[in-house]
Amino acid sequence: MASSMFFPTEFPYSDGQKAGVMIMALSGLSSLMAIICLFIFNRPKRRTFRNTHMFGYFMSLLFANILQSIAAVMDFQWVAKGSVRSGALCSTQAGIELAGNLGTSIFSVMIALHLFHILFLRFRATNPVFVGALVCAWTFVLFDILIGRFAIQTPKKGPYFGIAGSGCSITLNYGVERMVSEYLFSFLSIGMGFILCSLVFLRVRGNLVRNKYHEWNFVKQNEDGKFTITQDAGDNSMNRLAQKLVWLPLSYALILLPISVVRIAEFSGVAIPFWATASTTAICNLTGLVNVLLVLYIENRVPDTNDTLPTFSEKPWHSRSPSAASGDILSLSIHVNRSVEKFDDETSERVVVKLPTKPEQTYIAPDAWNTTAAKGKTYL
């Protein structure tokens, strides 16, 4: 009896538990079908992410979502049998689930870090860094699964992967390992996702700027809703793209929050009703579906342009080059007027460019400023 209590070989379902497991499996199936349909009918394109490394990180995230969904779909067999049973199938499901959950957490953090790197710090990662990050991430996922099964598992504690509650996961005899592998990375993903995405949003919005002394300043929006930027109106589409991309890691953090609360309470010894576990797990299994909807929204809402990353500054930019000092280049101040206008179901931003009618000591090209001079002219 002691052996049966510590190493359960079967967990029979009641009618309510069977319905709950069915809902969890259906939510995983919906995510799996959404990802499959995405690749069949509207495969993600590099230009959607402005040809950045975001595309590779997002594809890895979708693959991790596929593993998550496959593990959830395997619950159908337990519903059909009326109970979950230990064995090779249960251990396989637990390993796939761990790989999917861990991979989703890691790549959600990687996406947040990458957005922080290119949109907050204004640095572009090199290809070796990108490839190295992917290799290290998936190597770590594989290492975590193998080391648990072949190094941590002991005859005294029983199988590492097996029955845990009403499903298959890391067994309850490995509480510390379960906490680290399943919970720790989830909590880190939530915390880092919120912090990094908030900083990126403030940076893109123009609230956080860095002066010439490389000091960070917080700039409040003026009464007329104006921010000073250093590039042209093309930045607006990149800003809209950035504000949507931050929802990739942020949405995962929001989806993971309910089940994380349940896991913390469960790990603390609080008795959690089955409906709470089933509902929060079903929400977590919708991660793949949510990511598919987000990438479709990004593709349909962001203009197809070749904009570069925006650069915000606290003051209008003035070139220090000799040409600018001599008057050969005209420095412009561009202000974004955040007026309430609707265009394509989005709030547009009016860009106001104020130009002098006769800029002093400024060379005017032949085809510019409506001048008919053969070789241009210089206003005095």
What is the predicted pLDDT for the residue at 84? 93
Q: How far apart are CA 166 and CA 81, in angstroms?
A: 13
Please state at what angle helix 287-301 crosses helix 247-267, rounded to 10 degrees. Answer: 160
Residue 324's pLDDT is 42
In this structure, which amino acid lies at residue 270?
A: V
As a whole number of angstroms, the distance between CA 212 and CA 230 comes to 14
**pLDDT in single tens digits along all 380 residues of the chain:** 344 445 788 899 999 999 999 999 999 999 999 999 999 988 877 665 655 688 889 899 999 999 999 999 999 999 999 999 999 999 999 999 999 999 999 998 898 888 888 878 877 778 898 899 999 999 999 999 999 989 999 888 889 999 988 889 999 888 888 888 888 888 888 888 888 888 887 887 777 777 777 777 777 754 444 444 444 334 455 566 666 777 777 788 889 888 888 888 877 778 889 899 999 999 999 999 999 998 888 776 655 544 444 444 444 444 444 444 444 444 444 444 444 444 444 444 455 555 555 555 555 555 555 555 555 555 44
Counting beta carbons within 10 angstroms of the beta carbon of residue 323, is it exposed (0 to 12), middle (13 to 18) or buried (19 or more)?
exposed
Q: Which residue has the tokens 């710090």?
A: 121
- Say if domain 2-208+235-301 classifies as CATH 1.20.1070.10: yes
Q: Which residues contact 223 (CB under 8 A, 6 or more apart)?
A: none
> What's the confidence (pLDDT) of residue 54?
81
Tell me if 161 sits within 8 A of 154, measured CB to CB: no
Going by C-alpha positions, the residue among 226, 213, 248, 299 that lies closest to residue 119 is 248
Q: What is the token pair recorded at 16? A: 């309510």
Q: What is the distance, to the nearest Å, from the Cα of residue 268 to the centroid of all Cα atoms in its chain?
A: 29
* Residue 59, burial from CB neighbour count under 10 angstroms (0-12, 13-18, 19+): middle
What integer pLDDT is reported at residue 355 of this predicted model? 54
pTM, two decimal places: 0.74
Amino acid at 10: E
Q: What share of the chain is helix, strand, coil (3-state, %, to 5)?
A: 55, 10, 30
Which residue has tokens 């709950």? 20
Q: Map out the domains of the chain as residue ranges.
A: 2-208+235-301, 322-378
